[in-house]
């Protein structure tokens, strides 16, 4: 429940845009990033794919990673 998938996009060493599974959409942090986020948030198939990455990357590997740390 407390796992979150985050994918950040950077330009010139500054975070431009981020997708967070807990928010469920893209968020822009710069003027250009806000434009990207608005365009990407209109694409339902892209949002579905990004939301599915939480299960693909996080939920399938959390037990493996946890066991390796112990």
Q: Are 30 and 14 in contact (CB under 8 A)?
A: yes
What fold characterizes domain 6-69? Answer: 3.10.320
Structure tokens at 13: 């060493």
State the pTM of this model: 0.80
pLDDT grade for 1, boundaries at 50, 70 and 90:
low
Q: Are 37 and 28 in contact (CB under 8 A)?
A: yes
Domain boundary assignment for the chain: 6-69
Q: Give the whole-number percent of the chain exceeding pLDDT 70.
A: 97
Digit-coded pLDDT (tens) for 35-58: 999 999 999 999 999 999 888 887
Which DSSP symbol is given to 23? T
Cα-flanking dihedrals φ and ψ of residue 16, to 5°? -95, -50
């Amino acid at each position: 429940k407390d796992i979150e998938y985050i994918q950040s996009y950077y330009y010139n060493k500054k975070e431009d845009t981020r997708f967070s599974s807990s928010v469920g959409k893209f968020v822009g942090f710069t003027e250009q990033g806000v434009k990207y986020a608005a365009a990407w948030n209109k694409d339902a198939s892209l949002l579905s794919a990004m939301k599915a990455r939480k299960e693909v990357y996080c939920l399938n590997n959390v037990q493996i990673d946890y066991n390796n740390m112990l």
